[in-house]
Amino acid sequence: MSSGSTALRLVGLSWALYSVSGCGGELIRLGDGSAGSSGRDSVGGHAGLANAGGGENCPPTKTPGNQVVWIGDSWPIYPAGAPQYVFVRDQARQSGALDQADDYVNLATAAASMDAVANQYKTRESGATKVKVLIMDGGTWDTVAAQMMGTSVPDAAAGAELRFQQFLSDVASDGTVEHIVYFLVPPLLMIPGVDSMRPVLEAACEKHPGCHFIDLKDAWAAHPEYTGPSGIQPSNAGATEIGNLIWATMQANCIAQ
């Protein structure tokens, strides 16, 4: 494929992704190790974890929805209706962690690089309402774009890793975020570099107490139905599983409970 046609393909996919509609518009203690060794949460890739009951043992300190912010690329908002986002919000309402009329903030946008994801947080944090909890993905669009443009995937991965590390440092310096729940998308044919990025991203998360790393690789194993027809985003079933894993992590670590 010529470089011109590849560029057009990238632009076309970017526009297609941007057409997906979003949902709404103590310093970092990221990953205290309570749910797993070495600071990593041991959350399995199975449905039904949302009713594990961990949240009932948390101090009753309700976090307003406008302080819980989702950021990332298309994975927090796709498919239409964002089942992952809705699942977590509805579980929070049902458990009493979120008022029935309250909602989270979702700033994720399709085809967002790690730098763009970091800026989603920066824009929100610069306002009057400060961020207390971040739920996010990010970094793998950089490698997708590199693959489609025919540029270096390893270089794109390295750049995204460095930007993620800088992002965590910036969040820590701001001093308002108590928890980050980061989920790494599974390695798919159209999402290169995930396996090489995993140890670097996970290690960066583990260095910041309060950062909870969710790896979707095992959850996606033997579940082709979790991937949507685009081959680059989750299906309804996959999105619901993401929501399930996020909510289980939030309950296990008393995040916004």
CA-CA distances (angstroms) from residue 49 to 88, 127, 135, 240?
12, 35, 18, 12
- Tokens, residue 236: 């309804």
Q: Is the dihedral of CA 32, 38, 246, 233 positive or negative?
A: positive
Whether 210 contacts 254, CB under 8 Å? no
Residue 179 pairs in a beta bridge with 133
- Side chain identity at residue 182, one-letter code: Y
Q: Residue 54 — very low, low, confident or very high, per pLDDT cuts 50/70/90?
A: low
Cα angle: 51, vertex 55, 58; to 5 degrees? 165
Residue 245 to residues 52, 67, 185, 212, Cα–Cα distance (Å): 11, 20, 12, 11
The answer to whether domain 3-252 has CATH 3.40.190.10 is no
The pLDDT tens digits for 181-201 are 999 999 999 999 999 999 999
Q: Which two tokens stand for residue 177?
A: 């975020």
Q: What are 91-146's pLDDT values in tens digits?
A: 999 999 999 999 999 999 999 999 999 999 999 999 999 999 999 999 999 999 99
**Which has more pLDDT, 45 or 102?**
102
- Give, for 64, the enclosing helix (H) or strand (E): none
pLDDT given at position 55 = 67
pTM for the whole structure: 0.83
Q: Which residues contact 63 (CB under 8 A, 6 or more apart)?
A: 97, 98, 132, 133, 256, 257
Instruction: Please tell me the predicted confidence (pLDDT) of residue 93.
Output: 97
User: What pLDDT digit, counting tens, does each position of 214-240 carry?
Assistant: 999 999 999 999 999 999 999 999 999
pLDDT at res. 6: 42
CB atoms within 10 A of CB 244: 24
Q: What is the mean pLDDT of the chain?
A: 85
How far the first Cα of the chain sits from its last, in Å, is 50
